[in-house]
């Protein structure tokens, strides 16, 4: 009976984590899919979405950094519930107003909520779930992003209303929040990792960390290409090729679907191919898809965008595993922590830079910029792979 009860508890935790990861992805495609329509309601320029995303990510970064302090006083369940409340408040404010000032005020709510819950559920899942399930969790995040993009596409094409789409997303978030409140005992513990980290930090100071170890974090800095494409894909097709907003939102949906499908597919591929072969094949595929972005929309565009998302899918999870294969444990831990920070830094910086570039040059340069970043990612990956003979 005890074993059966334990299995049921583990199953409940797994299911709840899957659902939370879906909720985590729901707000992330809103600006990318709906901005061509939203900006008309707010009377804002196409490139101003970069300022919104930058502010949102900044608050996400701040809440992530404060998590270790917050977790000393709040249980995991309370952090999750409070974070989801912040996200729901941000969605409601975004939906009910046409004032650009209020729209900017939604970014702290969305950023704080997304950042805190991201760290919380990632840490909780890593502590309690096997590694095989961790890859599936990131797939369910992609499911959440794809679901919100699909909701936006449906309401834009059927009712020409992005507000109804955000209302639907907010309702789903409320339902998930109620579910978490009901089963909050599954997340009742406080996070005690900060106590163990003191000993790890003392050891890390004695480790021989050098410049070549920064290749991994720099790779993740340029991995911001995923967020850039998600944010600007729809606007690029609307502004450069005069595609209808609903069709452009559909393209963004396909991109996230390709990314989500690829994450699930990667788990199967790792059983028959090495991580290096999977990564190299997808990086080459990314180069090809980036070049094809410059072609005018046609019958093949939907498939091309889906494959574009698929080409990015294994980069984040598989590259995150390499430090443990290449370096001693102390070095690997530092590299992985820098990976997360540099990735967030890239997501913060690139939208702001790209927004200014698009404002000065226009959206026609979008494929060239993406292709350039794809080349950098391939070059960095090859340098990292070559380190195996140096560090092992």
Distances, alpha carbon 23 to alpha carbons 145, 176, 228, 250, in Å: 9, 7, 21, 20
Band of residue 316 on the pLDDT scale cut at 50, 70, 90: confident
User: Out of 148-152, 162-166, 182-186, which region has the weakest mean confidence (pLDDT)?
Assistant: 182-186
Q: What is the pLDDT of residue 266?
A: 79
Pick 274 or 292 by higher pLDDT: 292
Domain extent listing, the chain: 1-191, 203-392
* Over residues 93-116, mean pLDDT: 89
Q: What is the pLDDT of residue 224?
A: 85
Q: Is the pLDDT of residue 253 over 70?
A: yes
Q: What is the pLDDT of residue 189?
A: 56
How far, in Å, CA of 289 to CA of 307, rounded?
A: 7
| Domain 1-191 and domain 203-392 have a common topology | yes
Answer whether 311's CB lies under 8 Å from 378's CB: no
CATH label, 203-392, candidates 1.20.1250.20, 3.40.50.300, 1.10.10.970, 3.30.70.890: 1.20.1250.20
Distances, alpha carbon 370 to alpha carbons 48, 199, 230, in Å: 19, 41, 12
Domain 1-191 has CATH 3.40.50.300: no
């Amino acid at each position: 009976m005890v074993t059966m009860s334990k299995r049921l508890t583990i199953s409940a935790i797994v299911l709840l984590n899957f659902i939370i990861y879906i909720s985590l992805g729901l707000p992330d495609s809103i600006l990318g899919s709906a901005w061509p329509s939203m900006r008309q309601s707010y009377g804002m320029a196409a490139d101003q979405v970069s300022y919104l995303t930058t502010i949102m990510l900044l608050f996400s970064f701040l809440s992530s950094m404060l998590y270790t302090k917050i977790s000393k006083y709040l249980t995991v369940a309370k952090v999750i519930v409070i974070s989801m409340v912040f996200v729901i408040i941000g969605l409601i404010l975004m939906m009910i107003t046409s004032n650009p000032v209020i729209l900017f005020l939604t970014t702290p709510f969305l950023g704080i909520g997304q950042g805190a819950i991201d760290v919380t559920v990632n840490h909780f899942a890593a502590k309690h779930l096997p590694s095989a399930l961790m890859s599936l969790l990131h797939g369910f995040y992609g499911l959440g992003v794809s679901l919100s993009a699909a909701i936006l596409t449906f309401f834009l094409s059927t009712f020409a209303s992005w507000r109804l789409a955000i209302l639907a997303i907010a309702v789903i978030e409320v339902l998930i929040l109620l579910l978490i409140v009901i089963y909050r005992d599954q997340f009742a513990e406080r996070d005690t990792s900060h106590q163990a980290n003191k000993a790890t930090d003392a050891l890390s100071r004695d480790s021989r960390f050098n410049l070549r170890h920064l290749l991994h974090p720099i790779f993740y800095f340029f991995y911001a290409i995923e967020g850039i494409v998600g944010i600007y894909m729809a606007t690029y097709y609307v502004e450069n090729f005069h595609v209808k907003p609903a069709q452009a939102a559909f393209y963004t949906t396909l991109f996230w679907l390709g990314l989500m499908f690829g994450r699930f597919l990667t788990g199967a591929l790792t059983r028959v191919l090495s991580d290096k072969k999977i990564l190299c094949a997808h990086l080459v595929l990314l180069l090809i898809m980036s070049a094809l972005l410059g072609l005018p929309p046609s019958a093949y565009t939907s498939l091309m965008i889906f494959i574009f998302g698929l080409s990015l899918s294994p980069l984040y999870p598989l590259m995150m595993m390499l430090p443990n294969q290449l370096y001693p444990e102390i070095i690997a831990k530092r590299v992985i922590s820098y990976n997360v920070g540099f990735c967030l830094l890239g997501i913060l910086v690139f939208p702001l830079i790209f927004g200014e570039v698009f404002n000065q040059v226009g959206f026609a340069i979008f494929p060239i910029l993406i292709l350039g970043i794809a080349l950098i990612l391939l070059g960095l990956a090859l340098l990292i792979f070559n380190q195996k003979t140096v560090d092992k």
